[in-house]
């Protein structure tokens, strides 16, 4: 009947059968994924998840399917294509706006949308506030 059995599913099968991929937030991207050692043991990330999601990302890109990265997902996409991250915004990017606080999931900071871009058209505004609990950020693209 063409149904996939758990034992024979490959990552490329997901890319073949699904319309797109969303990579969401979660644990840090391991600094080892972009050639660095963790500055602190608790920032070691999840290298197994990193490897799995990067391979999945490449399968979806190869299949020319859309991919959306949210939070960690966006950072992972950057790393998968050769970029790097700040392991900790507060330690390594002094002067950057705060992306987390003691309020945790109630911390909000402003974002600006590209004038005439999709988000500014959708929201009818030049920007707005977003909830943020990040301590990692894109360093190099």
* Structural domain boundaries enclosing 131: 6-140
C-alpha to C-alpha distance for 45 and 17, rounded to whole angstroms:
29
Is 111 among the domain residues?
Answer: yes
Is 45 among the domain residues?
Answer: yes
Is 1 among the domain residues?
Answer: no
| Residue 131 falls in which region: left (phi positive, over 0), alpha (psi -120 to 50) or beta | beta
Count of domains in the chain? 1
Domain CATH number, residue 79: 3.40.50.880
Is 48 among the domain residues?
Answer: yes
Which residue matches tokens 């693209």?
141
What pLDDT score does 61 carry? 98
pLDDT tens, residue by residue, 72-126: 999 999 999 999 999 998 888 887 766 666 666 777 878 899 999 998 999 888 9
pLDDT tens, residue by residue, 17-76: 999 999 999 999 999 999 999 999 999 999 999 999 999 999 999 999 999 999 999 999
Report the predicted TM-score, pTM, of the whole model to 2 decimal places.
0.81
């Amino acid at each position: 009947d063409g149904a996939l059995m758990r034992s024979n599913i490959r990552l490329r099968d997901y890319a073949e059968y699904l319309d797109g991929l969303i990579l969401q937030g979660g644990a840090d991207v391991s600094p080892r994924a972009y050639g660095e050692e963790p500055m602190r043991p608790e920032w070691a990330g999840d290298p197994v998840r990193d490897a799995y999601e990067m391979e999945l990302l490449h399968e979806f890109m190869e299949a020319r399917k859309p991919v959306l990265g949210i939070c960690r997902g966006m950072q992972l996409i950057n790393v998968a294509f050769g970029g790097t991250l700040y392991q900790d915004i507060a330690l390594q990017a002094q002067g950057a706006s705060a992306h987390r606080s003691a309020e945790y999931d109630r911390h909000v900071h402003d974002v600006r949308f590209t004038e005439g871009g999709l988000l500014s058209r959708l929201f009818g505004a030049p920007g707005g506030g977003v909830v943020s609990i990040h301590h990692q950020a894109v360093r190099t693209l």
